[in-house]
Amino acid sequence: DTEVTQTPKHLVMGMTNKKSLKCEQHMGHRAMYWYKQKAKKPPELMFVYSYEKLSINESVPSRFSPECPNSSLLNLHLHALQPEDSALYLCASSQGFVRLPYNEQFFGPGTRLTVL
């Protein structure tokens, strides 16, 4: 299974709502990533988990809260978002996050988030 799944595909939420994005992979990968992508822009790295521990937080506002319950699952909890947070949120996984020369990432299809 070389698939990364993300749910939901689409999400519309108000600025006072609390919601969560979910990501799952069963490739035995030990690194998982969250990216945010605005229209016609490259994906921007938000968080990296390595062996279920948060390794990188790219100065993301605290209204985004990542969680890695186990090696196959990655969540992104959303609270008090702003309209400018509307974007495509992509999850990815890779074999590892140590000094490996090979770090191909496998991406999910993304969650299209709209904040009203």
> What are the residues binding another protein (CB under 8 A)?
4, 31, 40-43, 45, 48, 56, 88, 90, 92, 96-110, 112
Please, what's the b/e burial string for 62-100 (b: 16 or more CB within 10 A of its CB; e: otherwise)? Answer: eebebebeebbebbbebeebeeebbbbbbbbbbbebeee
Nearest approach in angstroms of CB 16 to another protein is 27
CB-nearer residue toward another protein: 42 or 83: 42
Q: Which is nearer to another protein, 64 or 97 (CB)?
A: 97
The least distance separating another protein from the CB of residue 108, rounded to whole angstroms, comes to: 5
Q: What are the angstrom distances between the C-alpha of 1 and each of 6, 10, 20, 25, 75?
A: 15, 24, 24, 8, 20
**CB 85, min distance to another protein, A:** 17
